[in-house]
Structure 1
Amino acid sequence: MREQGARLSWQLVEVTGPSMAPTLLNGDWLLIQKISSGAEQVREGDVVVLRHPLQQDLLIVKRAVERREGGWWVMGDNAFVENDSREFGTVPDDMVLARARARFRPPREVQRSVAGAGSWAAWAASCVRPLRADRSFSKRLRAR
């Protein structure tokens, strides 16, 4: 994940890697809101940005599945990638840094002709989506 902008409470970050597919794809952008305390502002099902517990210089995106003793159990949406709590256990509250609020999906190979107008309309209708626990396509989420 790549950060853009200064250290503000709201930021744009780019998703890299396949672990959050199909909810988030490589190259998608997230609007995230930094949080002061992981326990008080995160709800089950939220998409969160956190420090990887085993490689703390790496920021990752996962879905907060449930509160457990010691922190959050987080998982990715892609069942074939296991770089989540199944590998590293619960994540302490102080390692949960932000909640994802919206996803922006850049156009992917949209035709630039009159015939491609339908493709542009479809992209425009689906490119920005709020990321709320009750509106996501999947109960599991993560990206690296």
Structure 2
Amino acid sequence: MGIDRWPLRRLRVRGPSMAPTLRDGDTLLISFRRAPTPGAIVLVRWAARPDQLSVKRAVEPIGQLWHVVGDNEFASTDSRELGPAEVLGVATFRLRPRPRRLT
């Protein structure tokens, strides 16, 4: 069963890489059917780290992959180090602690 079997999933943010937009412990709603666009917050996986999922900001498409970065450049490992990432889903809402639309 793949992570994208269901069209929507909840996901808890871990770490400071997306601060101040998202904080450690925030809960997001991820859509696996929405196409990424530049500026969207996305769930990604890198070929070099296939078992690790990360939440980052989409910058630009590079073929089938995306250049993504964390909002907190001082605490983010992202495409600047790991290269383009596979986008698995797009964050549509932050459910907790303060609900709001993200896209």
Q: Shift of residue 8 of structure 1?
A: 1.3
Q: Which has the higher helix share?
A: 1
Q: Does 1:131 align with 2:92?
A: no
- SS across alignment from 2:81: helix
Unmatched tracts of structure 1, length 5 or more: 1-5, 107-126, 133-144
Please say which of residues 50-59 and 25-34 is displaced more in the overlay. Answer: 50-59
| Count of paired positions | 100
Larger Rg: 1
- SS across alignment from 1:80: helix
Separation of aligned partners in 1, 2:44 and 2:59: 14
- SS across alignment from 2:75: coil
Q: Give the TM-score normalised by structure 1.
A: 0.64
Separation of aligned partners in 1, 2:51 and 2:45: 7
Q: Does 1:77 align with 2:71?
A: yes
Report what 2:88 is aligned to: 97
Separation of aligned partners in 2, 1:21 and 1:50: 17
Large movers: runs of 4+ above 6 Å: none
Does the CA-based 8 Å contact 2:43-2:88 persist in structure 1? yes
Unmatched tracts of structure 2, length 5 or more: none
- SS across alignment from 1:74: strand
Q: Does 1:49 align with 2:49?
A: no
Seq. identity, %: 45
Separation of aligned partners in 1, 2:9 and 2:76: 27
Separation of aligned partners in 2, 1:29 and 1:15: 6
Q: Which has the higher strand share?
A: 2
Report what 1:28 is aligned to: 26
